[in-house]
Structure 1
Amino acid sequence: MSFAIRHEITNRGVAFCWRLLGLIAASLLLVHHLDRTFHDALHPALLWRNAFPILLFALLLYGLCGRAMLTLLLSGALAALVYKINTLKLRNMDSPLTPGDVQLGHQVADHIGFFAHYTGYHTVSLIGEPLLMLVLAVVLWRVETPRYRPRWLTRLGLVVLSLGVFYALLHGLRPWRELYSDRDLTTYQQWNPVYSAQSLGMLAAFVRMYQDMQVRVPPPDKQQVAAFASHNAQEIEQRQTRALTQELPDIVVVQSEAFFDPGVLKHVEYGQYDPNYQRLAAGGITGSLTTPTYGGGTIRTEFETLTGYPMLAFPSVQYPYFGLAAGWMPTVPHRLQQFGYSTTLFHPYEAQFWNREQVMPELGFQHMYFQNSFKDAKYAGIYISDRSLFKRVLAYMDQDDSKPRYTMVITMENHGDWDRDPGDLAQVLREHPLPPGLSSQGQEEMTYYVSHLIHGDAALADFANKLLARPRWTLLLFYGDHLPALSAAYADLGFDDDKTAPEEHTRFMLLSNRPFNPAQPRQVNLAAYDLPGLLFDTAGLPEDGYLAIASTIRHAKVRKTLGNDFNYARLQFNAALMEVSCGRKLDTAGRCSP
């Protein structure tokens, strides 16, 4: 072999090694710059675990194009874009990017206008920056010298290696499962993605969450559920064998978008902005409501109230309407149909959003009315007003029908984000001034939110009065799905209990135009997954295996027979896990039916 050839091979090898070292260094520096976890301390072990996915992507690009500068540009641009999206999601939903967000790609593409309300002026950069990178990439492709470019066999090896390792990394194959295990990621909490991302770095937490997603339903503690069912067999049996009452009530459930009482904030009184809700709640069953989401992710709360399954039982599932919800589930609509109920859904927004058009029939809704059924409705801001929605529901409820009806109403008027002009609605603040101490951004958020809250509260009063004035026995369940992400207002005012916004609760009320059972507590704090049992208790309806067990657990918590709330939650989670892992109804003995 001639000296010139040996020299050329040596130069190629040295250049290749230097470029690989450059890609490694660039990946580390990118993460250190983009991830706030490493701004105060280096944490080398965590830094490389966060940089490794970026490095794999860079190796893939280098193998495909063989151009080092182009690879650096594209991998850096993608990393910056991912971190920017993560920041926006944290701001609006107090949640980092998770593997479940990958399932929403087509949702974002199909409803880009809706999501643009959350990104605000960032929309320009989210679209413009990738376009600019594309232009620069074309320029670099043309001008970057191909000298010492790796040969095709080496590049093919990089492509195969990067794809193979990336697959093994995300699916938790050895040794990657051990390298991202609890031993090395000591602060990882599957049920708390915010803390995990903040303490470990966004990409390391994402990888670990993706690995955990490979087992969608953790194994339940069957003995715990069976032991509880055996110890409470008499109460569970009584619930299952209840006799149907001669008159079955109409049941109307209103899931109010972003409803909460600002009275939990300092310098704000309860009922100051929702006096009608306070008045109505005083005549029913009411309390705080723990929901499984904050600032967004409405379908998480929605799923709990339809199924009675706590979302925390499935920590790897972020969006239950994409992969978890299924037709076999004995939801509230399915259960009520067995007693002769018709089931109807009203939601004045696009049918495809959150996959509702496909999922809701599977969960038991026979009739559905989405945005295309509200063509003549009036708007409040950019969404159909609660008053128009309630008017449409009342017209439906007034139709002659011998069947009892279960009607779920999902509102949209007070949907965020809340840094927009409320328009004419702002005039309601003349009689309801905002609290002192708000910054300009906090005042903007509260002005928009409170204006719609007051407007919706007036609509609720009119709706409840007319609905409950009907001669037919009617139950009205009203609750908020999550707190709105009024980040600046919360920072300005603070909460009475000094907790953070994601730790706060919304509220619920259950009203009836018949007297309540005197034995039912009128003030009770619940979780969203407790609401199905509350409805069945109030209506006196028979409960099947899982619901009978869940309701017994709820009453045990009220009586404090389980000790602390942790034991109650673990028992509830295990019952839900058994129900889902069985793929059929759980029986009243706390076992899977054969």
Structure 2
Amino acid sequence: METFIRGDFLEAKKWMEDNYNPFILNYLILFVFFLLFLGLFNDLLFSTFAFTVFTLLLSFINRYKHMFLGENLYPWDVLLYQQMFNLFPELIKEVNKGKLAIAAIGVVLIIATIIFIKKKIGFVVFRLSALKRLALIVISVVLIVSFFLFRSTPLKRLFNELQITNINWNQETNYKINGFLLSFVLNTESTLVFPPNGYGKENILNTVKDLENRLPAEKPEKTLTRHPNIIFIMSEAFWDPTRLESVPFSEDPMPTVRKNQVGWLLSPQFGGGTSNIEFEAMTGLNVSFLPTGSIAYQQFVGHSLPSLVSILKEQGYEPTAVHPYYNWFWNRENVYKYLGFNQFISLDNFKDATYRGPYISDKEVNAKIINKTESTDKPDFIYAVTMQNHGPYEKGRYKDDVKIKIDDSELSDESKYSLETYTQGVVEADEAFAELIDYYEKSEEPTIIIFYGDHMPFLGADYLTYKEAGYVKDEKWSLEEYQRMRQTPLVVWNNFTDEKIELPSISPSFLGPHILDLAQIEKPLYYRFLEEFSKQMPGYTTSVKNDADGNLYKDTPDNVKPLEDTYERLQYDLLFGKGYSKEALFGSGT
């Protein structure tokens, strides 16, 4: 299992030697599962076969999740079973068909061999009496449950004595040191979100009252005769590849974005987890208060939730979500309703669309946006998520139509070709953005466009391209490197004022107050609180944080701790709790 996941037997062997205690625990977890299989099937041959298939299947799922998203398999991923089934036809395209055929033939031959041995040769297999079989199943289940609930069992003490630590702040290191199975088990302690210290009705109401006294409402100065259209473009994996300073590009791949850039978005994700960035931008909540690696849309958003969508809807906006992919992906078809969107334009609505590579082009998304703003009398709020530049960035995706070349670099061929493919996607995203700006510059409707990348691209296993280019080190990263691996370009453009705002490195959670100010819309109390927090700590992620002066932190500094505690309590109340603060924070209409 570890050899397959790591891709190298010698690396797996070195892990076993250097991390003996985690290796033994991984082995014991597997052995207990084998005992369960034996108790269930009561047949040594078939139990061994079924257990082997189970082990290999887990390995395959983990490997391909890491390949596509740059993340390992987590306990909460079991909630994504429907998505996995829906996505299976797309994933199967990436699997080596020859190897898959060999594996299938191997499975058939093993089953046939088991049947032949048992029926023709009369091979005697190991069997248990009914009582012993029941005892084995019960013992196995109890042990498995103990593993997954180790916080409240004697296993917690065993883990402590063996110096086993759940490195949940760095899951890549966690899985490398503790191994796949043990890391998976350790992560179960983060699947539940418990109330933060001080959560309760009286405390929450006192917190809200304090905020109301400290952050009174201010009427914005009105210079517009109508609310402006507000258009978010969350461009898939958009980033500035010229930040790889050692790599020579033949020309600038993103001149329009560079000209209009107002700062950097500090993404909570790398290489995947797009919906978490969306979650932060739309709700003002922060995934740093959620279990590491979790997907808020899939796990936690199961009811109506106050959001930027609902706020603007109260102001008379027509809210629309656009994403040229399956509507079930990341549970968007349900979550968008909970957030308040009136319409979701998904893959099914992109009939006869132009594709660039395997995905619908960014310019087709432009067409949907323009059509929407032209067809409604109300001001529009549109949240658009593009898909064209989604990985993997295979060689030849754009055939010979690659505008920018990489010459004389120290990159391997694998990194060079994937980076060229990715950069062509950046070129076309920038061109699509330029077309959108050109259109709304001529429009009589006041319009704001917010453009940013959701996360940086996944360019090779174990950050291959970034390491070859010297962008990050091979060993432990500094806070500066963590920040570099989370920043994407941010543009806030409008067609009704020449004043250009400048923003620090900022989390998606804190975009809302700036957009409401620019749109000349009064901020609800919650967004006034977000504004207060972001003035102290505009960049707030699990990996790295930055204050307004650009100073970097791993842990929240003491002077921001009180605001952080308030933020966490309010988020718990809105997302998991009783909603004591909802009306005061957002008004009775949300």
Short-chain TM bin:
0.7 to 0.9
1:409 positional shift? 0.9
| Structure 1 counterpart of 2:445 | 472
Q: Structure 1 pair 152/34, CA: closer, same or farther in 2 (3 Å)? A: farther
| 1:404 to 2:379 alignment | yes
User: Is there any run of 5+ residues in structure 1 with no aligned partner, and where?
Assistant: 1-25
Q: Give the match's secondary structure for 1:533.
A: helix
Alignment of structure 1 residues 114-133 onto 2, 5 Å: 114-116=90-92, 119-121=94-96, 125=99, 129=103, 132-133=106-107
Q: Which residue of 2 aligns with 1:272?
A: 252
**Structure 1 residue corresponding to 2:428, chosen from 455, 473, 481:** 455
Q: CA deviation at 1:479?
A: 0.8
- Of 265-274 and 303-312, more deviation after overlay is shown by 265-274
Superposed CA offset, 1:494-545 (max 9, x none):
3179836983321211111122778xx5142101211222212322322333
Q: Is the 1:434–1:447 Cα contact (8 Å) retained in structure 2?
A: no
Task: Give the corresponding residue for 2:574.
Answer: 579
Distance 1:252 1:114 in 2: 30
Secondary structure at the aligned position of 1:428 is classed as coil
Identity rate of aligned residues, in percent?
21
Q: Of the candidates 526, 550, 554, which is equivalent to residue 546 of structure 1?
A: 526
Query: Does the CA contact (< 8 Å) of 2:73 and 2:184 recur in 1?
Result: yes
Tell me: CA distance 1:386–1:170, structure 2 relative to 1, closer, same or farther (3 Å). same
Question: 1:426 aligns to what SS in structure 2?
Answer: coil
Partner residue, 1:113: 89
Paired letter, 2:237: A
Deviates more, 1:314-323 or 1:379-388: 314-323
Q: Are residue 503 (structure 1) and residue 476 (structure 2) matched?
A: no
Change (3 A) 1:389 1:265: same
Preserved CA contact (<8 Å) 2:238 2:454: yes
Range with greater deviation from structure 2 (581-590 or 151-160): 581-590
**1:33-44 superposed matches below 5 A:** 36=12, 39=15, 41-44=17-20
Question: What amino acid does structure 2 have at the position aligned with 1:539?
Answer: A
CA distance in 2, matches of 1:218, 1:197: 28
**Equivalent position amino acid for 1:196 in 2:** N
Q: Does 1:59 align with 2:35?
A: yes
Q: 2:394 aligns with which of 406, 414, 419?
A: 419
Q: Distance in 2 between matches of 1:225 and 1:58?
A: 49
**SS of equivalent residue, structure 1 residue 476:** strand
Corresponding residue for residue 159 of structure 1:
137
1:74 offset after TM fit, Å? 3.1
Q: Distance in 1 between matches of 2:27 and 2:267?
A: 34
Q: 1:486 — aligned with what?
A: 459
CA distance in 1, matches of 2:25, 2:577: 37
Paired residue for 2:265?
Answer: 289
Q: Deviations over 1:79-116 (max 9, x none)?
A: 23323432333344332110122122221222223224
Question: Per the alignment, in what secondary structure is the counterpart of residue 490 of structure 2?
Answer: strand
String of CA shifts for 1:230-252, please: whole Å, max 9, x gaps.
8875662235x658775311100
Aligned to 1:252: 231
AA aligned opposite 1:412: M
Tell me what 1:515 maps to.
Answer: 497
Distance 2:21 2:252 in 1: 51
C-alpha contact (below 8 Å) 2:39/2:136 kept by paired residues = yes
Q: Flag the 1:125–1:500 CA change in 2: closer, same or farther, 3 A.
A: farther
Letter in 1 for 2:117: V
Deviations 1:137-192 (A, max 9, x none): 44225425335522222122212222233234323474255257666555323343
Q: How far 1:129 sits from its partner (Å)? A: 2.7
Which of 182, 196, 199 is the equivalent residue of 1:219?
196
| Alpha-carbon separation, structure 2, partners of 1:34 and 1:104 | 33
Alignment of 1:137-286 (within 5 A): 137-143=111-117, 145-172=123-150, 174-175=152-153, 178-179=156-157, 184=162, 186-213=164-191, 215-220=192-197, 236-238=215-217, 246-268=225-247, 272-281=252-261, 286=262
Give the Cα separation in 2 of the matches to 1:590 and 1:363. 16
Q: Which runs of 5+ in 2 are unaligned?
A: 539-546
Aligned-partner Cα distance in 1 for 2:127–2:45: 12
Q: How many residues align?
A: 555
- 1: CA distance between counterparts of 2:60 and 2:154? 27
Report the counterpart of residue 301 of structure 1 in structure 2.
277
CA contact (8 A) 1:273 1:453 kept: yes
> Hey, what's the Cα distance between the residues in 2 that align with 1:33 and 1:348?
41
CA shift in 2, pair 1:414/1:591, >3 Å: closer
Are 1:379 and 2:374 matched, yes or no? no
**Which piece of structure 1 moves more, 74-83 or 525-534?**
74-83
Q: Over residues 302-339 of structure 1, what are the superposed CA-to-partner deviations in whole Å (9 max), with x where a residue is unaligned?
A: 11111111111111561222231133311111111111
Secondary structure (helix, strand or coil) at the match of 1:478 reads strand
Residues 161, 541 of structure 1: alpha-carbon distance in 2 compared, 3 angstrom cutoff = same
Residue type of the alignment partner of 1:111? L
How many Å separate the matches in 2 of 1:35 and 1:220? Answer: 43
Amino acid at match of 2:138: V
Residue 401 of structure 2 aligns to a residue whose secondary structure is helix
Output the CA distance in 2 between the equivalents of 1:317 and 1:72. Answer: 32
CA distance in 2, matches of 1:342, 1:505: 31
Based on CA coordinates, which of the two structures has the bigger radius of gyration? 1
Using the alignment, how far apart are the partners of 2:484 and 2:79 within structure 1?
24
Instruction: Specify whether residues 316 and 449 from structure 1 end up closer, same or farther in structure 2 by C-alpha distance, changes over 3 A only.
Output: closer
Report the equivalent of 2:542: none
- 1:196-251 deviations in whole A, cap 9, x for unaligned? 222222211211212331x2245255599999878875662235x65877531110
What's the TM-score once normalised by structure 2's chain length?
Answer: 0.83
Deviations 1:338-392 (A, max 9, x none): 1111101111112122221122111111011111211122111111111122022
- Deviates further, 262-271 or 74-83: 262-271
Deviation at 1:462, TM superposition (A): 0.8
In structure 2, relative to structure 1, the CA distance for the partners of 1:561 and 1:91 (3 Å cut) is closer
Change (3 A) 1:177 1:406: farther
TM-score (norm 1): 0.82
Shift of 1:457: 1.2
Q: Does residue 320 of structure 2 align to residue 344 of structure 1?
A: yes
SS in 2 for 1:238: coil
Deviation at 1:441, TM superposition (A): 0.7
Partners of 2:308 and 2:423 in 1: CA distance = 32
* Mapped partners of 1:356, 1:77: distance in 2: 33
Cα distance in structure 2, aligned partners of 1:385 and 1:473: 26
Counterpart of 1:443 in structure 2 is 416
In structure 1, the residue corresponding to 2:296 is in which secondary structure?
A: coil
Asked if residue 322 in structure 1 is aligned to residue 285 in structure 2, the reply is no
Three-state SS of the structure 2 residue aligned to 1:531 is helix
Structure 2 residue identity aligned to 1:418: Y
Q: Please give the alpha-carbon distance, in whole angstroms, between the structure 2 residues aligned to 1:529 and 1:275.
A: 27
Deviation at 1:33, TM superposition (A): 6.8
Q: Secondary structure at the match of 2:264?
A: strand
Deviation at 1:274, TM superposition (A): 0.8
Cα gap change, 1:492 to 1:148, in 2 (>3 Å): closer
Q: Report the AA paired with residue 272 of structure 1.
A: D
Secondary structure (helix, strand or coil) at the match of 1:542 reads coil
**For 2:351 and 2:528, how far apart are their aligned partners in 1?**
42
CA contact (8 A) 1:37 1:201 kept: no
